[in-house]
Amino acid sequence: EAQVTQNPRYLITVTGKKLTVTCSQNMNHEYMSWYRQDPGLGLRQIYYSMNVEVTDKGDVPEGYKVSRKEKRNFPLILESPSPNQTSLYFCASRLAGPNGEQYFGPGTRLTVT
Which residues contribute to the site for other proteins (CB under 8 A)? 31, 33, 35, 40-45, 48, 50, 56, 58-59, 88, 90, 92, 96-102, 104, 106-107
Choose between 72 and 109: whose C-beta lies nearer to other proteins.
109
Amino acid at 32: M
| Closest CB 109 distance from other proteins, rounded Å | 9
| Closest CB 108 distance from other proteins, rounded Å | 10
Under 8 Å between Cβ of 35 and 45? yes
Choose between 19 and 43: whose C-beta lies nearer to other proteins.
43
Residue 99 sits at φ, ψ, to 5 deg, of -110, 15
Choose between 11 and 50: whose C-beta lies nearer to other proteins.
50
Omega prior to 8 cis, within 30 of 0: yes
| Closest CB 80 distance from other proteins, rounded Å | 26
Give the start-end residues of each E strand in 3-96.
4-7, 10-13, 19-25, 31-38, 42-51, 54-57, 65-66, 76-78, 87-94
Choose between 36 and 78: whose C-beta lies nearer to other proteins.
36
